[in-house]
Chains A and B, each alone.
Chain A
Amino acid sequence: MKKILNNKTTRTNLLTYLVVIVAFAVMQAMNSAGMLGSSMKGFLVPICVYISLAVSLNLLVGICGELSLGHAGFMGIGAFSGVIIAALLKDVVANDFLRLLLAMVCGGVFAGVVGFLIGVPVLRLRGDYLAIVTLAFGEIMKNIIGNLYAGTDSEGFHMAISTSKMKLAAGGKYIVSGPLGATGIQKLATFTMGFLLVLFTLFIVQNLINSKEGRAIRAVRDNRIAAESVGINVTAFRMKAFVVSAFLAGMAGALFGLNYSSVTASKFNFNTSINILVFVVLGGMGNILGSVISATVLYVLPEAMRGLQDYRMILYAIVLILVMLFTWSPKVKEFMSVIADKVSGVFKKKEAGTNE
């Protein structure tokens, strides 16, 4: 056991799980004690969703070193396919939890498949080009979903990309209706499922990072030529990271979609992609625990500033800039490393003490 704990990576990974589990337990306890207001209760699921999105994007941006600006596109695919699947399974699967799980898995699979198809041409590009293409992908997805009509009637399921082609028999019901988005969604999402999603995401991403594949992916990030020269198939490993990231984003998207009674395509625009990227960058590239914390804090921050009325979005931007400057300031870094040394010094002394 001690041996495991002496490994720094394992320690960080376990700490990440611990933080998430403790946070869940505390929130759950406060909730059952009736200490949470409606606002706070409303934040629980979206926070879980954004944590999963940030962690999955961190795999791509921080570990694989590819800048993706279309993460919200995968989230959108997951959200809409999840919502459609959940609506279709309404009479087949009675258990809400199981139906939610199936919808999330389907959302993830759809997003993963699209991620693979996009990845084939896109991963031939590098750096800025990849960023531009993923940005375009996100916008294309948003526009396609924005024109998507889906519904069921007595003859079964219908889907079309324009209202004139969509003819439902009398008594038919729309699940997704173009620019109005998906409406009348049955809200299935729960905080417990959000928590499980976060754990699942952490499990996949942290294990992937510390596996043979993960080391190969990091090798590709750090020096492509050197990686190629030792026989690493660069495209295959980048693809692996890309698809896993898309899959997890799709799952998170499905949970997001099923947490509200309506969801529109315009939600999954460039701004949302950038927002997730901000969570990753401020939390630290490649730092998983950092993504978890920054996603939570930065999601709640603009909501907590509601008291500022019309000025809150301006202040939110200022706070972001300051945090960015502050955490990158050499003085602060120096200060933090001194503290870290002292803390680990205490830790080591204690350990030495117990060894004797």
Chain B
Amino acid sequence: MKKFVAMLMAVLMVLSMAACGGSSAPAATEAPAAADAAPAATEAPAAEGAAPALKIGLTGPMTGPASAYGLAVRGGMEIAVAEINAKGGLQIEFKSEDDEADGSDKAVSAYNSLKDWGMQIMAGPVTTGSSLAIAAETVNDQIFMLTPSASATDVAMTGSNVFQMCFTDPNQGASAAELMKQKWADATIGVIYDSSDAYSAGIVDGFLTKASELGLNVAVDNAAFTADNKADLSTQVTQCKDAGCDLVFLPFYYTEAAQVLTYANTVGYAPTFFGCDGMDGILTVEGFDAKLAEGLVLMTPFDANATDDATVAFVEQFKANNGGLVPNQFAADGYDVIYALYNACVAAGVDGSTPAADVCAALQEQFASLSVDGLTGKGMTWDANGMISKAPAAMVVTDGVYVPVA
């Protein structure tokens, strides 16, 4: 009987916790008790008579294996929202939902729950798969969408209301090929990539097309792995080593790249490694010897060690909010998204009382001529398809910091 009572208590406890959560749900961003170090200033002080706050929503993976990206974007956005609300003027109410990086039902239900909340602008999703599912919904609902980090070409092509803050994958692959042509024209190139990941496969597509156009010597183009067998990448490294590659292209995320660098070091293989924007963050991987990344070339629009005021202030605030974690390009993209939206909304004169469809039409018009200076680039503009144009920046890791490639 004791056991039974204990179990009953446990059930009651869970239910009461659920009830607490439920009641605070509509005010999720206002509650500083949302447990993480969310800056309390996300709260929009609704002054008497002032226009209601503009509702901006984000979906991204907040739980599960991809949560690092979702949480980074959310962290960046929260900083931007807090800064804007502190300024007075147009106020922003921000809410994020977990889509588990899913490409169908979970993403759509995360989006639907934001829609029920009254979202006027979609500032997500974080991952490409979710973006493809949600972009089509935003087209139907006429909600403006600016994704910080979903980089597949198909995302922007979904509709005229869908915009991207990051480079598209094939473009990034093509820029990488161009840079190699300039700096390492005679190199024997090996490509390792994740064939189960749209980001990685998309870059490789663009890269190989451009590389054959430019006449680069690509010796290994089939050293692929998938999300299920990335625990050990030694085969792929060995393949490049045996083919005598002196430049290895690694278009995937930093956690796997850390493995590649570590393994290459143990077998004494030291080609030039070349990564894309997903490589940003490699210097902060736990248990990874950052010395191994010396000489690594990466194409990233954001450098956390930059000394301009905006970046320094952002990095300080992000570290303070997230227990000392250094922000990566996902966080910076999130921060820029909120500012781009804010600038466009101010210019268009929309606020919380404007219906979502009108906000969408007004912002589409603004983004055609908008130019934004942000953490990830100066003078960023968008084309008619919603793809961004900003200068790709290539960095090389020297003494543990990024230095522009000479």
Contact = CB atoms under 8 A, between A and B. Distances in A.
B62 A310 contact: yes
Interface in A139-156: 139, 143, 146-147
Contacts of B97: 306
B201 A178 contact: yes
How big is the B interface, by class? 35 or more
A215 to B, nearest CB: 37
Interface stretch (A16-24, A201-209, A261-269): A261-269
A219 interface: no
A306 B132 contact: no
B289 interface: no
A146 B194 CA distance: 11
B21 A180 contact: no
Contacts of A329: 3-4, 7
A331 B8 CA distance: 12
Contacts of B129: 180-181, 262, 264, 266
A151 to B, nearest CB: 13
A339 interface: no
Contact of A178 (B35, B63, B98, B195): B195
B24 interface: yes
Interface in A226-275: 256, 259-267
A307 B136 contact: no
A355 interface: no
B133 interface: yes
Nearest to B71: A310
Contacts of A318: 14
Contact of A262 (B133, B201, B202): B133
Interface string B107-120: 01110110110000
Contacts of A41: 112
Contact of A42 (B35, B112, B201): B112
Contacts of A304: 22
For chain B, what secondary structure do more than half of its interface residues adopt (helix, strand, loop), or is it mixed? helix
Contact of A39 (B36, B102, B112, B133): B112
Contacts of A307: 21-25, 28
Nearest to B22: A307
A143 B226 contact: yes
B103 interface: yes
A354 interface: no
Interface in A20-54: 37-39, 41-43, 46
A180 B152 contact: yes
Given A180-B132, A256-B104, A322-B14, A309 B195 contact: no
Given A179-B201, A183-B132, A310 B36 contact: yes
B105 A260 contact: yes
B17 interface: yes
Contact of A264 (B62, B103, B110): B103
A322 B15 CA distance: 11
B51 interface: no
For chain A, what secondary structure do more than half of its interface residues adopt (helix, strand, loop), or is it mixed? helix
Interface string B184-210: 000000000001111011100100000
A306 B109 CA distance: 10
Contacts of A14: none
**Which residue, of A303, A307, A313, A325, has the highest number of chain B Cβ atoms within 10 A?**
A307
A163 interface: yes
A336 interface: no
A196 interface: no
B11 A143 contact: no
A319 interface: yes
A62 to B, nearest CB: 25
Given A260-B105, A306-B97, A329-B4, A146 B14 contact: no
Contacts of B201: 163, 178-180
Interface in A283-319: 303-313, 315, 318-319
A313 B97 CA distance: 13
Contact of B198 (A180, A325, A332): A180
B103 to A, nearest CB: 4
Nearest to B21: A308
B290 interface: no
Given A37-B116, A313-B63, A263 B103 contact: yes
Given A261-B137, A263-B103, A143 B228 contact: yes
B14 A319 contact: yes
Interface string B1-35: 10110010011001001100111110010000011
A184 interface: yes
Contacts of A42: 105, 108-109, 112
B109 A309 contact: no
Contact of B105 (A37, A46, A310): A46
B154 interface: yes
A266 B14 contact: no
A146 B200 CA distance: 13
Interface string B215-246: 00000000000111000000000000000000
A157 interface: no
Nearest to A265: B196
Interface in A159-198: 163, 178-181, 183-184, 187
Given A184-B154, A306-B113, A310-B63, A139 B21 contact: no
Given A143-B228, A261-B136, A262-B129, A181 B196 contact: no
A206 B1 CA distance: 38
A303 B22 CA distance: 11
A323 to B, nearest CB: 9
Nearest to A314: B63
A46 B102 CA distance: 14
B128 interface: yes
B109 A262 contact: no
A129 interface: no
A178 to B, nearest CB: 6
Given A143-B228, A263-B103, A326 B21 contact: no
10 contacts: A42-B109, A143-B228, A146-B226, A179-B200, A264-B104, A305-B22, A306-B25, A307-B23, A311-B35, A329-B7
Given A179-B197, A263-B104, A308-B21, 13 more contacts: A163-B201, A178-B198, A179-B201, A264-B104, A266-B227, A303-B113, A306-B98, A306-B110, A309-B62, A311-B21, A313-B98, A326-B11, A332-B4
Interface of B: 1, 3-4, 7, 10-11, 14, 17-18, 21-25, 28, 34-36, 62-64, 97-98, 102-105, 108-110, 112-113, 115-116, 128-129, 132-133, 135-137, 152, 154, 158, 195-198, 200-202, 205, 226-228
7 smallest beta-carbon distances between A and B, as pairs: A307-B25, A261-B136, A262-B132, A308-B21, A264-B103, A38-B112, A260-B104
